[in-house]
Structure 1
Amino acid sequence: MFKKLVPLNREAHAKLKVKPIDTFGFASGFHIASLMVHEFARAASAYPIVFLEDKEKDEFRPVVLLGLEAGENLFLNDEGSWKASYVPAIIRRYPFALARLGEDADQFTVCLDEESDFINEETGEALFAEDGEPTEVVENVKRYLGEMQQMEGFTQQFCHFLSEHNLFNPLNMRVRYGSAMRNVTGCYVINEERLYNLSDKLFLEIRDKRYLAPMFSHLTSLSQIERLARFKEDSGDNTPPPAADV
């Protein structure tokens, strides 16, 4: 997605402007997009929500499936328009992002993609005023990215809780598009049976942590995998390969 991500600098970027996103072609090569717990309810109406394991960090993270093959985004049409009413926040934040100031630092800085098609010196809203101070655009970006960072922290706690209580299960689902079946593997889902067999005390803890709604949103969203298969079939690519990881 990012071509040249650099820290936002009032001197180097004094003349830059940003245009509103009018096409999502920059996300055409992504078949997954990271998601935060706060997005589950809206995202579940359009996308399958699953979890990926980062074995090096020994943690899980939620994502939405945008395609059934690597490098395939079935939610984009030929004009670069998004084919769902809700666009994940990580896509909407482009061309901006937060980066840590050092490996273990708790401080972050706003970065932008200098080579983005939405960044230029001619059209759009200025990032800095004539006196060098950040404009309202930059302040809004800071606020938005800061909120995303807080949501990400809550999401990490949510995933840690599920993992700690052994509620993840590998997904192995078969879908049909064209004339063949396709196995969807390589990701994890909440084990519904284990969830219902939790003790009353633990179930109440889940309720108090406000985890119940996103858990059920995730489980409901899994039927959207069939929607991806329909999108795939409509795209004309009806010859799926053997089973492959998400």
Structure 2
Amino acid sequence: MANIVPISVETHAGKKIQPLTSYAFAKKINSAPVVASEIAIASRHFPLAFIEQNGEVGLFALFGLLNQQNLFVDANGRWLADYVPAILRRYPFIFAKARDREDYILCVDEDSGLISEKKGAPLFEDNGEASETLKKALAFVTEYQRAANSSMAFSAEVKRLSLLQPLNIELKISEDKKQKIEGLQRIDEKRLNALSEEDFLALRTKGFLPLIYAHLFSLNALGDLGRRLGKPAPKVSKSSHKKDELSLPDTFKF
């Protein structure tokens, strides 16, 4: 259970942060949001599907097909893909929205096991100023939030244009047992191609077309999830149809 606490000199003076060397904290995370600037590279490694939560749609990388299952973290906490989504790389830092305010506060998960009084890089200098490590963490999380806001605009536009359809998956658990995976959505290519010229050009002008095509390309990776699970490739319900990239910085170094 995460223990998210705002970072302050009063609370964290003398505290140190250790490097993120294990992804064991993500062992039961079967999906995570991806931001617009990483969709192109994430699509090469994970299936990307739209998920609606509390009335808002977002694009998520799928790490597993079953609840609390991440097929990209091994028993030793090692990440098993060549790319780690930014939301995981930012751990244990997070932006939390301030109560009754529009701005965000930099927080840290106190239960991450990475906060120490003896090991790691200091969060604050002796004079109370933010350390270089904390400044890098703030810059990373700020850039992530900026990219997340852009991603929200992309997903909102896709929803507004009614381009989404259910992505229903059937997973063969055994010879006589199958499990349906529901709640995922994908772009309907037929609807995309039927858009008015005005709407299609608007998607292109906003830079959303490459994101759409990356999402569609990524669905080929659903078979890889089945192989990692040791099951036959999952069956996807029939749909109605037959780059340069801006990347977030690497994990900040201590």
TM over 0.5: yes
**Amino acid in the other structure paired with 1:21:** L
Q: Match of 1:11, SS?
A: helix
Q: TM-score, normalised by structure 2?
A: 0.86
**Amino acid in the other structure paired with 1:6:** V
**Equivalent position of 1:141 in the other structure:** 137
**Amino acid in the other structure paired with 1:33:** A
Q: TM-score, normalised by structure 1?
A: 0.89
Q: Match of 2:12, SS?
A: coil
The one-character-per-residue Cα deviations of 1:90-116 (angstroms, maximum 9, x if unpaired) are: 11111110111114x221110011121
Query: 1:121: how far off?
Result: 1.1
What is the aligned counterpart of 2:102 among 78, 101, 106?
106
Q: Match of 1:154, SS?
A: helix
**Amino acid in the other structure paired with 2:147:** M
**Equivalent position of 2:3 in the other structure:** 4
Query: 1:15: how far off?
Result: 1.2
The question of whether the paired residues in 2 share the 8 Å contact of 1:176 and 1:229 is answered with no
Equivalent pairs, count: 232
CA RMSD in angstroms comes to 1.8
1:86 lines up with 2:83 in the alignment: yes
What is the aligned counterpart of 1:215 among 205, 208, 212?
212
Instruction: Return the alpha-carbon distance in structure 1 between the equivalents of residues 150 and 13 of structure 2.
Output: 35
1:18 lines up with 2:14 in the alignment: no
Query: 1:67: how far off?
Result: 0.8
Structure 1 residue runs of 5 or longer lacking an equivalent are 241-246
**Equivalent position of 1:121 in the other structure:** 117
**Equivalent position of 2:244 in the other structure:** none
Q: Percent identity?
A: 32
Given the superposition, is the C-alpha separation of residues 50 and 217 from structure 1 closer, same or farther in structure 2, using an over 3 Å criterion? same
| Deviant stretches of 4+, over 6 Å | none
Structure 2 residue runs of 5 or longer lacking an equivalent are 235-254
The one-character-per-residue Cα deviations of 1:33-71 (angstroms, maximum 9, x if unpaired) are: 1111211111111111011112x3x22011111111111
Instruction: Return the alpha-carbon distance in structure 1 between the equivalents of residues 171 and 219 of structure 2.
Output: 12
Instruction: Return the alpha-carbon distance in structure 1 between the equivalents of residues 172 and 214 of structure 2.
Output: 24
**Amino acid in the other structure paired with 1:114:** E
